[in-house]
Amino acid sequence: MKLKTSKFGAFYLSLFFVVLYLPVLSVILYSFNASPSTAQWTGFTLDWYRELFRDRVIVESFKVSIEVALLTALLSAIMGTASAVISMWVTDGMKKAIQGMMVLPLLVPEIALGIALLIFFNSINLPFGHLTLVLSHSLFCVPYVYIMVQLRLKEIDRSILESARDLGATTWQVIETVILPLVTPSIITASLLALAMSLDDVIISTYMSGAKTTTLPVHIFSMMRVGVTPKVNALCTLILVGTFFIVGLSQLTKKQNKEAV
């Protein structure tokens, strides 16, 4: 009986993974297909990748994406950590208010958030470009950093902070010498997550991109209007590898974090 259910479980799980990863695999596969059509396989080639790097617009939007993602990760790390640490010293009511405001951007539909930001930045005459992209991406990345740092802070024994005070540390020294070293692994993990999320955001970036500053996903989206070319397959493959790398790295820091405590 037990064997049967476990066999069924294995079958179900395989089906699940096939449905989930087969399309992804086909994208990778066709990026190496010599024929520009997905109808047939005519041989292995790296031509699409070569063409990709020759495309000035793609290389340029890739640069924009990376710059925006790095700045977003940095800004979110600072703001998310600061709000989490500050909320240790405020009253319970204030803490709940901070928490609510932090989670809100995750609940508002991205399309509404995008329109709201578009109207707002327009009304204050902020030119669309790097700055608007970083600010809007940070809006949905800060909550992740805040939540992850907050979870770590909850694990820290209050008496450790009290003993630091007791041994002569000022509040700032307690933050600098005890709290920050203990939450650093969480900050790193959360920043990597922010990096990944900023890199593959489409909806908000569509609104925030300037005339000359387009992020890679937005550019891919516009390329798709003319149809899926093997170049897009090659690009998606590269993005996929990059994302897996970042997520893997964040899992690794998480694991190390667990071992240290």
Contact footprint for other proteins (CB under 8 A): 157, 159-160, 162-170, 173, 177-178, 181-182, 260-261
Residue whose CB is less far from other proteins, 76 or 189:
189
Cβ–Cβ < 8 Å for 98, 90: yes
Residue 145 C-beta: closest distance to other proteins, Å? 20
Residue 107 C-beta: closest distance to other proteins, Å? 35
Residue 183 C-beta: closest distance to other proteins, Å? 10
Residue whose CB is less far from other proteins, 88 or 98:
88
Cα 212–chain centre separation = 23
Residue 229 C-beta: closest distance to other proteins, Å? 51
- Nearest-angstrom CA–CA distance, 90 and 5: 52
Residue 64 C-beta: closest distance to other proteins, Å? 38
Residue whose CB is less far from other proteins, 109 or 168:
168
- Nearest-angstrom CA–CA distance, 198 and 179: 27
- Per-residue burial over 65-88, b if 16 or more Cβ lie within 10 Å, else e, is bbebbbbbbebbbebbbebbbebb
Residue whose CB is less far from other proteins, 178 or 202:
178
Helices (H), the chain: 2-30, 47-54, 56-86, 92-107, 110-123, 130-155, 158-166, 171-174, 180-199, 203-208, 216-224, 230-260
Residue whose CB is less far from other proteins, 169 or 203:
169
Helix or strand (DSSP H, E) at 225: none
Using the 8-state DSSP alphabet, how is residue 31 labeled? T
Tokens representing 123 are: 């009304």
